[in-house]
Amino acid sequence: MAGRIPLPVRASVRDLLTDLLGRSVEVRQAGDPLVLSPSRPALLATYRDDDGGMAVASACELPLAAGAGGAIGMMSAGEVAEALKGAKTLEGDLEEFFHEVANVMGKLLNTPTSPHVALSALYTVPGEVPADVARVVLAPEVRLDYRVDVDGYGDGTMTLLGG
């Protein structure tokens, strides 16, 4: 599967998120790549091909994941901020809402000339992930780092990793 799933360009990510969340979304190249660490928790969405092979991972910093989830779930920015206080992951409605965002983002990974992929799982990082997921995250063949700002909900880094 390596290298066969094209990663979406910035404008495609912006357009999909703007339509999905029903609000202005700015997407630009990140100044610094996202480095996963205990002090910077993130949610990792994994996408697998129809045979179960690991294709793409998408890491979103926790505040961005919460903001996108809150926006799609029509939660107030205050509710999202309160849910993030001291949080190391998303729980309850916010987790469910972000799952939907990650699921729809999978549309950007499917093209007429590439194998079909779909959202497989969400993981909190740092944390345990399957070995094939870790391989893609630690040594991706392609990588895109975007800084995403969801109007009214804040911003964070989204990293797409292909392998």
Tens of pLDDT, residue by residue over 68-77, are: 999 999 999 9
At 93 the pLDDT is: 93
Question: Where in the chain are the domains?
Answer: 10-31+41-162
With DSSP H G I counted as helix, E B as strand and the rest as coil, what are the percentages for the chain, rounded to 5?
35, 30, 35
User: Two tokens at 114?
Assistant: 């590439």
Q: Taking the mean position of all CA atoms in its chain, how far away is CA 51?
A: 22
Structure tokens at 86: 């001291």
pLDDT, residue 37, reads 80
State the architecture of 10-31+41-162 in CATH terms. Answer: 3-Layer(aba) Sandwich (3.40)
The pLDDT score that the predictor gives to residue 1 is 41
Helical spans, DSSP H, in the chain: 10-21, 62-72, 77-84, 92-105, 131-138
Helix (H), strand (E) at residue 145 = strand 142-150
With a CB cutoff of 8 Å and minimum separation 6, the contacts of 6 are: 109, 111, 114, 162
Q: pLDDT below 50 — which residues of the chain?
A: 1-2
Q: Read off the pTM.
A: 0.92
User: 3-state class of 90 per DSSP?
Assistant: coil
pLDDT in tens, 101-126: 999 999 999 999 899 999 999 999 99
